[in-house]
Homo-oligomer: A and B are copies of this chain.
């Protein structure tokens, strides 16, 4: 960090080899690995491929945004989103809202119900509220860290989540990149056509108040930079400000050679626990005070492109995909 241009906040990637033990550490503590070292040491089994049936591509002129859907938490919404995507519902519609430090949102901009695009075959106009689900028999990789919004927090199916052991419920948390289904005042008034993405400080007050359907795993920087709307709630006042949606497709409906083969780091492994600890207590030379804590929404959830597109299983088993 002797380069003045980088007189800057130092991230893990910048100090891979600056791992001198922190002065307050016990002398016997083993040297801690940085996040990058942990990722570099990961094995294929530490990663899971995204399921094309649960992967949505939002295609913009600027590029592709990849969303992982969460059928374990929002089965009815995910089924509807699959049907809407298959029918090309969003193709030609637009991103209509960008509210700073809150959300971007897309769907049909028409205010007049008569002018709104039909949902198409197989898509339902009415869905149940899927704000929370039973936590029984639900895998949950709990964080030990305290949280003000939920009795317990952690990860389920790779998603940041909250859990209430007394109520035996669990729900997805509104972290940066969370994708939710906009609704009216009635709890069951979302149909999955109006989707929003969190682009700022996590609005956890929305947890258990709206159906979270997934999260953006790649391409957030295509959404977070959209000009903010000047109308109420950040809606654009001039239709020309809207960002056109070229298409929203389920990866499974896209030819394999056009897919983005992604893998997400599993959250149920010792390696992931080590990664979280490396972020909870930064032991590199730059940090002078170890936090001793990490918030759910500050935990990185690494995603990487698979080294090669998955080959057809019958010809050549893709061993990394166990």
Chain A residues in contact with chain B, CB under 8 A?
1-11, 13-14, 18, 96-97, 99-103, 105, 107-111, 113, 116, 129, 131, 145-149, 175-177, 180, 182-185, 187, 189-190, 194, 196, 199-210, 220-221, 224-228, 232-233, 235, 279, 282, 285-289, 291, 293-295, 297-298
B9 touches A103 (CB 8 A): yes
C-alpha spacing A96/B9, complex, angstroms: 13
Top 5 A-B residue pairs of the complex, sorted by shortest distance between their CB atoms:
A5-B111, A148-B293, A208-B289, A221-B228, A8-B182
Q: Smallest CB–CB gap between A107 and chain B, Å?
A: 7
| Residues of B close to A148: CB separation below 8 A | 145-148, 293-295
A200 to B102, CA, bound (A): 10
| Residue of chain B at shortest CB distance from A129 | B288
- Among A97, A105, A221, find the residue whose CB has the most chain B CB atoms closer than 10 A: A221
**A198 (CB) vs chain B CBs: closest residue:** B201
Cβ contacts under 8 Å, A208 to chain B: 288-289
Q: For residue A92, give the distance in angstroms from its CB to the closest CB of chain B.
A: 17
Give the residue name and chain of the B residue nearest to A2 (CB).
B184
Across-interface contacts of A204 in B (CB, < 8 A): 291, 295, 298
Closest residue of chain B to A223, judged by CB? B100
Using CB atoms, name the residue of chain B closest to A177: B101
Q: A305 to nearest B CB, angstroms?
A: 15
Check A9/B298 contact, CB under 8 A, given A113-B4, A201-B175, A201-B176.
Answer: no
* B183 A7 Cβ-Cβ under 8 A: yes
Contact of A7 among B189, B232, B291, B295 (CB under 8 A): B189
Bound-state CA distance A14–B185 (Å) is 11
Establish whether residues B221 and A185, one from each chain, have CB atoms under 8 Å apart when the complex forms: no
On chain B, the residues within 8 Å of A7 by CB distance are: 107, 182-184, 189-190, 194
- Given A185-B285, A227-B225, does the pair A8, B194 have CB atoms closer than 8 Å? yes
Bound form: Cα–Cα A224–B200 in Å: 9
| Chain B, Cβ-Cβ closest to A5 | B111
